[in-house]
Structure 1
């Protein structure tokens, strides 16, 4: 009986040790992947495509347009779109990703948080595109900073750190999602991508 218990304990220890090694290897695979914003699509502000706000000088003039004043009464200023995130595995070891948490920060505070379930299994050199959609009400942030200054910074100056895109990928072990311990910063100047890469 003691031998059976001993063998069982040994198998358990070996199993747990193997799981820890596997977990560490898969965590490292997530860290080694390259994450890039391939494109941004279907971008709208206050229900309209961005081109509707572009002036003859090439800049975006938001606060002076009809429709914005109405939105201020409703306290709703939605910014929405779809991000096509490109993931590439440059390493020899396989990278398996089960789902993602993603976040858009504005001036260091969370603006939007979402989750997408998509299995991505990448061998060395392989890439995959994962769509991340977002829709967030930026009214409070705009009011806090002053509407004119906020809109000018968001749509024209697009300073680094104003809008930041982050993700937290996960892998699955024994039916459970194991997320990367912290968010990975993908783009510190995401506001610029909204205008340069949107289709």
Structure 2
């Protein structure tokens, strides 16, 4: 009986040890993948496409538009769109992604956080596109910074780090999502990516 218990105990240790090795390998596979913004679509600010805010000088002019005054009264200034995230596996080992957490930061603070469930299995050299949608109210951040300064930075200057896109991918073991331990920065200049659509 003691011998049987010992065998079961040894098998359990080996199983758990194997799981840890497998977990580490899959986390490394997530880290080795390349994550890029393939495109950004359907971007709207305060319910209108960005080209509606562009002036004759080529810059965006927010303060001159009447509907912004209404938005300031309602304390609602939504920024929304769809990000097409491209994932590429450059390594020999197969990469499996089950679910994503994604976050858009503005001036170093979280602006929007979302989750998308999509199984992606990539062999070496393969790529896949995962759509990520976002809609966030930027009113409080604009008020905190100062509306004129905020809108000028957001629409015209597009400094690196003003808007940042990050993701946290996961894989599944025994029915449970195991997320990468930290967010991976995909685009440090996500604001420029958005507004370059309308040059």
TM-score, normalization by structure 2:
0.98
1:187 aligns to 2:190 (yes or no): no
Name the structure 1 match of 2:135: 135
- SS of the aligned residue for 2:55 comes to coil
Q: Residue 161 of structure 1 aligns to a residue in which SS?
A: coil
Query: How many Å separate the matches in 2 of 1:155 and 1:132?
Result: 22
Alignment partners' CA distance in 2, 1:195 and 1:71:
21
Q: CA deviation at 1:66?
A: 1.2
Partner of 1:23: 23
Aligned twin of 1:57: 57
> In structure 2, how many angstroms separate the alpha carbons of the residues matched to 1:144 and 1:173?
43
CA–CA distance in structure 2, aligned partners of residues 71 and 37 of structure 1: 30
Instruction: Tell me if the contact between 1:39 and 1:197 (Cα under 8 Å) persists in the aligned partners.
Output: no
Cα contact 1:163–1:190 (8 A) shared by 2: yes
Question: Is residue 2:156 matched to residue 1:156?
Answer: yes
Q: Deviations over 1:128-168 (max 9, x none)?
A: 00000000000001011111110010011000000000000
1:124 CA drift (Å)? 0.2
Q: Residue 67 of structure 1 aligns to a residue in which SS? A: helix
Query: CA shift at 1:45, angstroms?
Result: 0.2
- Distance in 2 between the 1:15 and 1:71 partners? 58
CA separation in 2, counterparts of 1:127 and 1:84?
A: 12
Q: Please tell me whether the aligned partners of residues 62 and 68 of structure 1 are also in contact (alpha carbons under 8 angstroms).
A: yes
The offset of 1:197, in angstroms, is 4.3
Q: Give 1:196 deviation, angstroms.
A: 2.1
SS at match of 1:178: strand
Residue aligned with 2:66, SS? coil
Tell me which residue corresponds to 2:118: 118
- Equivalent residue for 1:80? 80
User: 4+ runs of 1 displaced by more than 2 Å?
Assistant: none
Q: What is the alpha-carbon distance in structure 1 between the residues aligned to residue 81 and residue 37 of structure 2?
A: 13
Which residue number in structure 2 is paired with residue 45 of structure 1? 45
CA RMSD of aligned residues (A): 0.8
Number of residue pairs matched? Answer: 198
User: 2:96, 2:63 → 1: CA distance?
Assistant: 45
Ranges in structure 2 where 5+ consecutive residues have no aligned partner:
none
Instruction: Supply the distance in 2 between the matched residues of 1:194 and 1:63 (Cα, whole angstroms).
Output: 20
**CA offset digits 1:52-74 (Å, max 9, x no partner):** 00111111111111100010000
CA distance in 2, matches of 1:197, 1:22: 42
